[in-house]
Amino acid sequence: MTEPLLRVRDLKTYFVTEQGSGTARAVDGVSFEVQPGETLGIVGESGCGKTVTSLSILRLIPEPPGHIRPGSVIEFEGRNLLTLEPRELRAIRGNQIAMIFQEPMTSLNPVFTVGDQIAEAAIVHQGLSRRVARTRAIDMLRLVGIADPEERVDHYPHQMSGGMRQRVMIGMALVCHPKLLIADEPTTALDVTIQAQILELLDRLQAELGMAVMLITHDLGVVAGSADRVAVMYAGQVVEQAPTAALFARPLHPYTEGLLASVPRLDAPPAREHGRLHSIPGQVPAATAWPDGCRFHPRCPYAWERCRAEMPPLLDAGGEGEPGTHTVRCWLLTEPRRRTPHP
Amino acid sequence: MSVWTWLTLGGAAVLALAVVAELRRRLQTSAPGRRFFRHPTAALGLFVLAFFVTIALAAPVVAPYPPYYQIDIGHPNRPPSAQFLLGTDPFSRDVWSRLVYGARVSLGIGTLAMLVAATVGTAVGAVSGYFRRWVDATLMRLVDVGLAMPRIFVLLMAVALWEHIALWALVLLIGLTGWFGTSRLVRAEVLSLREREFVAAARALGAGAGRVIFRHVLPNAAAPIIVSGALGIGNMMLLEAGLSFLGLGVPSPAPSWGNMIADGWHKMAVAWWSSTFPGLAISLVVMALNAVGDALRDALDPRREAA
């Protein structure tokens, strides 16, 4: 196996809440790797720690109240980002690792032209003059598929539509040709048709620029179309990790199963529940009080005593590829006979 | 001489009108510009300011006499006439000429002091709001102390200790005791702006604290700073006038509107003009500044569009 571009090991990001209700363990022992050039999808519902994970990688967690626990490791090309000086860290942000945010409406500075904002990263990291940076900004606008880039470069964010702003955000992120792009719900705020265009654009740029992408989303459809591998997160942990095809063909964690079952499908109407869409019962527990044992057990149809008492480790699920390709945090792997729902 | 006086006076008024008309024409194309001129007294205020700024800049041309020139020591306190537009004062100096030169001093001190205050206030507020924690706590307690001290007494004490105070020192003193409110305002604005997503996006791009503050946070806080600055100049001018009236501000032979009132007030009964006109000038300019500041607030706050 080649040296991974990004290696996250046992990442724990906690928030101390002021009201004294305890510590919110938003990310609690997450490990994954991103290989050069691949797309890793990170999936999970709101509050499972996806965004905190991505912010932790760039160390953008507001401190206080948040902090990354000692013992966590985030290695980018072999360097631990958690021990870097602020200067070295700034040299990586935007240059080697870039990020695009969920809300294109609020992630652009309203008082500067989009050209200025795209040029900024190039000026900061590559010391380009304003003129060269402007030309570069025009090139980026063209690259992300904006018509009339020469004119658009002088427009302000409020003069653009949501889809165009997200294109501008992507242009901003890619201006220094980063090796890793973290895309935090890049399409959530957009119309479905625009979503498809943006994802297509990301795919194309990834192929052209040869970068790796961490695609964070709650939308399994997005992951199915773009990701090489998927990590499913629940309650601050990775509960299942597998190549995309394997995950969709053979979901092993009951949570993944539930997620897949709740996707509306045109080809196979859900007959089971009298034509209603499937949903996972219950809600994600509060990050200040994760349940004991397996964190999914209160919502799991298969849970038994062991699940309530003991947290399962990530177990190897076998299947194709080398060991460790498909891992699942579930005791069912040790006792597959129990995979029958309780009445 | 007097024809020239009337000519220049008229010229200044026409120029001021032209400035207002031109500004109005140019700003009509933008929404904030239209909001500005929708304010009932904005154009009038702008005209008053343009007029006084014009005569201040063109003082040597506009003033018929040098400001210190004592025309006829034997016959002071002459009433306003064709020759002496606003009369002469107890030292037999032409009030109109002194008013014109005084505009330089009073407007200049007000503006410069406000710039000092706005700069310091913005810097302190931005640092405080951006870094929070102990930096914020320390700076804001300092501001509390500053706000709690009665400003005029601090100034009186400082000026009294200094004896002959230079103009630049007066500007600094007035400015450095006037930034506390601005820093509060800027801090509040920065506290909310720093949590905005585009700030996180800028940091994700590798921008350092200085760059984030100056390029991303402060430009978005410009509107309240500008408004408070416009409203603040009036305050600074009043303070200068007060100090000069008490004989502690601009030293006497030099004309400032404050010490002109002081020069004339004990002869009010026989020569009302030498105190009244500088007093009127102060009132006019301060009211004009308030009107313009108010209109700026309307103009720069997009939420007022609907109203």
Q: Which residues in chain A have their CB less than 8 angstroms from residue B218's CB?
A: none
Predicted ipTM? 0.71
A6: enclosing H helix or E strand = strand A6-16
- pLDDT one-digit tens code per residue, A186-195: 777 777 777 7
Check residue B109 and report its DSSP letter. Answer: H
Output the average pLDDT for chain A.
81
Any B CB within 8 A of A112 CB: yes
pLDDT score of B200: 82
Q: Confidence class of residue A275 from pLDDT cuts 50, 70 and 90?
A: low
The more confidently predicted of residues A196 and B284 is: B284
Any B CB within 8 A of A58 CB: yes
Residue B141: is its pLDDT beyond 70?
yes
Q: Confidence class of residue B1 from pLDDT cuts 50, 70 and 90?
A: low
pLDDT score of A19: 67
CATH class for the domain made up of B2-300 = mainly alpha
Where are the domains positioned within chain B? 2-300
Residue A287: is its pLDDT beyond 70?
yes
CB contact under 8 A, A93 and B206: yes
A19: enclosing H helix or E strand = none
Q: Which residues in chain A have their CB less than 8 angstroms from residue B208's CB?
A: 86, 90
- pLDDT one-digit tens code per residue, B66-100: 877 777 777 777 777 777 777 777 777 888 888 88
- Best residue of A59, A103, A109, A170 to probe chain B, by most B CBs closer than 10 Å: A109
CB contact under 8 A, B204 and A58: yes
Residues A54, A33: Cα–Cα separation, whole Å:
13
- Of B236, B220, B288, which is closest to residue B118 (Cα–Cα)? B236
Output the average pLDDT for chain B.
83
Burial classification of residue A87, based on how many CB atoms lie within 10 Å of its CB (0-12 exposed, 13-18 middle, 19 or more buried): exposed
Of A98, A101, A124, the CB nearest to B207: A124
Average pLDDT (A153-182) is 84
Q: Which residues in chain A have their CB less than 8 angstroms from residue B194's CB?
A: none
Q: What percent of chain B has pLDDT over 90?
A: 3
The more confidently predicted of residues A134 and A322 is: A134
The more confidently predicted of residues A338 and A268 is: A338
Of the candidate ranges B42-51, B155-164, B223-232, B279-288, the one whose mean pLDDT is the lowest = B155-164
Residue A330: is its pLDDT beyond 80?
yes
- pLDDT one-digit tens code per residue, B186-222: 888 888 888 888 888 888 877 778 888 888 888 888 8
Q: Which residues in chain A have their CB less than 8 angstroms from residue B196's CB?
A: 106
pLDDT score of B284: 92
pLDDT score of B285: 92
Q: What percent of chain B has pLDDT over 70?
A: 98
Amino acid letter, B188: A
Q: Confidence class of residue B306 from pLDDT cuts 50, 70 and 90?
A: very low
CB contact under 8 A, A172 and B203: no
- Of B132, B113, B110, which is closest to residue B121 (Cα–Cα)? B113
Phi/psi class of residue B64: alpha, beta or left (left: φ > 0; alpha: ψ in -120 to 50)? alpha
CB contact under 8 A, A94 and B216: no
Check residue A250 and report its DSSP letter. Answer: S
* Beta-ladder partners of A8: A32, A74
Report chain B's C-alpha Rg in angstroms.
22
Q: A91 to chain B, minimum CA–CA distance in Å?
A: 6
- pLDDT one-digit tens code per residue, A37-83: 888 889 888 778 888 888 888 888 877 788 888 888 888 888 888 88
CB contact under 8 A, B205 and A108: no
Any A CB within 8 A of B202 CB: yes
Q: Which residues in chain B have their CB less than 8 angstroms from residue A125's CB?
A: 206
| Antiparallel, parallel or unpaired: β A212-217 and A39-43 | parallel
CB contact under 8 A, B202 and A108: no
Residue B122: is its pLDDT beyond 50?
yes
| Antiparallel, parallel or unpaired: β A212-217 and A180-184 | parallel
- pLDDT one-digit tens code per residue, A85-94: 888 888 888 7
Residues A195, A193: Cα–Cα separation, whole Å:
5
Cβ B252 vs Cβ B259: under 8 Å: yes
Instruction: Decide: helix, strand or coil at residue B52.
Output: helix
Token pair for residue A233?
């997160």
Closest residue of chain A to B130, computed from CA coordinates: A62
- Of B150, B302, B158, which is closest to residue B220 (Cα–Cα)? B302
Average pLDDT (A229-241) is 87
Any A CB within 8 A of B220 CB: yes
| A 140-179 near B (Cβ less than 8 A) | 169, 172-173
Q: How are the residues of chain A apportioned to helix, strand and coil, as percentages rounded to the nearest 5? A: 35, 20, 45
Q: A88 to chain B, minimum CA–CA distance in Å?
A: 10
Of the candidate ranges A277-291, B50-64, B267-281, the one whose mean pLDDT is the lowest = A277-291
